[in-house]
Structure 1
Amino acid sequence: MRIGLLGTGPWAEMAYAPALSAHKELDLAGVWGRRPEAAKELADRHGGLPVYEDVDALFADVDAVAVALPPSVQAPLAARAARAGCHLLLDKPLATDLEQGRAVVAAVQEAGVASVVFFTARFQLAIEAWIAEQAAGEGWFTARAEWFGSLFDDGSDSPFAASPWRREKGALWDVGPHALSVLLPVLGDVDNVAAAVRGPKDTVHLVLRHTCGASSTVTLSLTTPPAASGATVELRGRAGTTVLPTSDEGAVPALVRAGDALLAAARGGHPHACDAAFALRVTELLATAEGRLTG
């Protein structure tokens, strides 16, 4: 499958370009970026790939596209690519605007293309196996999910710290998708965002009620002191207590497996669990939480 890469920033450089280049069944066929000079630099670092100035020309030359762009840029381009017949490997969040997210799902459905959204934890082997095991169980009573990052700490040297959309939307939209991507397949959909409260800086606390009857609390932050950062999910129910396993897998091997998932969905015609429709549901829940934030 010939695949094009949209985006030239740190995430494209650190994750998408290496993963797509390493994939045995995906042929990275070209790069498009909003800054042509950055696209050429990225393309040159990965074997002199073709650089496209016209994104529609790239869509016409490939079978699929991978998108490493801010959500407000990703969504309209993803819908455009789907309408051109391209399968989609997208990043989270799908969008931060509900109408843009819905347009992506509509385009995917109308064109009959496959879509996979890269929720990192869902493609890490140990975590994927843990989620499947817990989802097969019953009797969950409550859950606690915490995603503490130090991206915006004063001492941060992360290349993502200057990201305008992360600065604007904060932890709710950046790491919120990670937490929901783990909770939803185990506890089911959320039928009530019961509370959404602001904490220090960009920290938010959510209380959710799930369709299975269980409740969950979610705490998200990108301004945590480094010594206190980390992520955990704890489930409590009839089987006792279980905690999300740690994973030392980086983004590249997880993205390679996301590429496998896209190929399987395209060939088999069966939607992947992390498709655009699932990502839209995550977007809807985040938008609801954002609208209810107090404090």
Structure 2
Amino acid sequence: MRIGLLGTGPWARAAYAPALAGHTGLDFAGVWGRRPEAATALAEQYGVEAYDEVDALLADVDAVAVALPPSVQAGMAVRAARAGRHLLLDKPLAVEVAEARAVAEAAERAQVASVVFFTARFQKEPDAWIGEQAAVAGWFTARAQWLGSVFTSDSPFAASPWRREKGALWDVGPHALSVLLPVLGDVRQVLAAAYGPSDTVHLVLDHATGASSTLTLSLTAPPSAAGADVELRGEAGVSVLPGSSEGAVPALTRAADALVTAARTGRPHACDASFGLRVTEILAAAQARLTGSQSPAD
């Protein structure tokens, strides 16, 4: 599968480019970016072509990996799907429900494979734990804390305009939901949403299994307090999400594996664009709660 990369920012450089270049089942064909000079630099680093035009890249590949801000990603993904290209996308799929729905519908209409890179779903230990807990009945409640220090450290993502505008709800909220939904079921309702310090958000969710969950999300935690924790409690007792022994590149390599498999078999992956749409719908419902204009999640 020949694949091109759309995007040249910190995440493209740190995760996407090395994962695509090192993948034995992919031919990393080239890079397009909104800043041509950055695309040229990244392409030269990996010995691939830098494209000035998106359509030229699309004409040369079977799939695209998208490492762009979500509002930009959505339009590019629709464009690529309409060209018949498979999609390796990042979370959140979009920050507007209509944009996320357009991606999911375009992928379905074109019959192209799609995978959204929710990191924990492609890391060995967390993914195995999610599968194990999803098979256990009787979960009563869950507590998820996804605390980042993007804005309180020297993170390369601190200058990201969309993160500064949308905050933790949209950046780390997708990670928490990607873990909780397979175990507790879909969200029937966002019961409560409130702001904490800085961009911190607290949510209470009602799930289809009858369980509830509470989420604390932040990008402004003190560096010494940052980290991700998920705890389940139910008839089987208490279970805690394990940490991962690997970084983003091996996880992204597995996401690419999933895309290749979905394209070959025609069977959708659990983290496809439709799942990305559902996550966007839930986050939009939480955002509506936060702004005081309630909108149902379903």
- State the TM-score, normalizing by the size of structure 2: 0.97
Query: Which residue in 1 is equivalent to 2:49?
Result: 50
1:171 aligns with 2:178: no
Q: 1:181-260 to 2 correspondence within 5 Å? A: 181-260=178-257
Query: Which residue in 2 is equivalent to 1:6?
Result: 6
**How many Å separate the matches in 1 of 2:60 and 2:224?**
47
Residues 59, 81 of structure 1: 8 Å contact kept:
yes
Query: Which residue in 2 is equivalent to 1:286?
Result: 283
> Over aligned residues, Cα RMSD in angstroms?
0.8
Q: Measure how far apart 1:248 and its partner are.
A: 2.5
**How many Å separate the matches in 2 of 1:80 and 1:178?**
26
Query: Which residue in 2 is equivalent to 1:262?
Result: 259
Query: What secondary structure is seen at the aligned counterpart in 1 of 2:80?
Result: helix
**How many Å separate the matches in 2 of 1:93 and 1:261?**
18
Aligned length: 292
**How many Å separate the matches in 2 of 1:191 and 1:161?**
33
Residues 197, 294 of structure 1: 8 Å contact kept:
no
- Deviations along 1:217-257, one digit per CA (max 9) or x if unpaired, are 00000101111111100000110000000113100000000
Query: What secondary structure is seen at the aligned counterpart in 1 of 2:56?
Result: helix
| Structure 1 runs, 4 residues or longer, greater than 3 Å off | none
Query: Which residue in 2 is equivalent to 1:71?
Result: 70
Residues 196, 294 of structure 1: 8 Å contact kept:
no
**How many Å separate the matches in 2 of 1:44 and 1:30?**
10
Q: Measure how far apart 1:4 and its partner are.
A: 0.4
Q: Measure how far apart 1:132 and its partner are.
A: 0.3
**How many Å separate the matches in 2 of 1:86 and 1:18?**
21
Q: 1:37-186 to 2 correspondence within 5 Å? A: 37-47=37-47, 49-153=48-152, 156-186=153-183
**How many Å separate the matches in 2 of 1:74 and 1:170?**
18
Aligned partner letter, 2:273: A
- Deviations along 1:63-114, one digit per CA (max 9) or x if unpaired, are 0000000001000000000000000000000000111111101100110000
Q: Measure how far apart 1:294 and its partner are.
A: 5.8
Query: What are structure 1's unaligned runs of at least 5 residues?
Result: none
Q: Measure how far apart 1:36 and its partner are.
A: 0.6
**How many Å separate the matches in 1 of 2:277 and 2:108?**
13
Query: What secondary structure is seen at the aligned counterpart in 1 of 2:151?
Result: coil
Query: What secondary structure is seen at the aligned counterpart in 2 of 1:252?
Result: helix
Q: Measure how far apart 1:183 and its partner are.
A: 0.1
Query: What are structure 2's unaligned runs of at least 5 residues?
Result: 293-298
Task: Give aligned-pair identity as a percent.
Answer: 74
- Deviations along 1:125-173, one digit per CA (max 9) or x if unpaired, are 00110000000110000000000111111xx111100000000000000
**How many Å separate the matches in 2 of 1:180 and 1:173?**
11
Residues 151, 158 of structure 1: 8 Å contact kept:
yes
Query: Which residue in 2 is equivalent to 1:18?
Result: 18
- Deviations along 1:166-213, one digit per CA (max 9) or x if unpaired, are 000000000000000000000000001000001111000000000000
**How many Å separate the matches in 2 of 1:176 and 1:134?**
20
Query: What secondary structure is seen at the aligned counterpart in 2 of 1:88?
Result: strand
- Deviations along 1:254-289, one digit per CA (max 9) or x if unpaired, are 000001000000001100000000000000000110
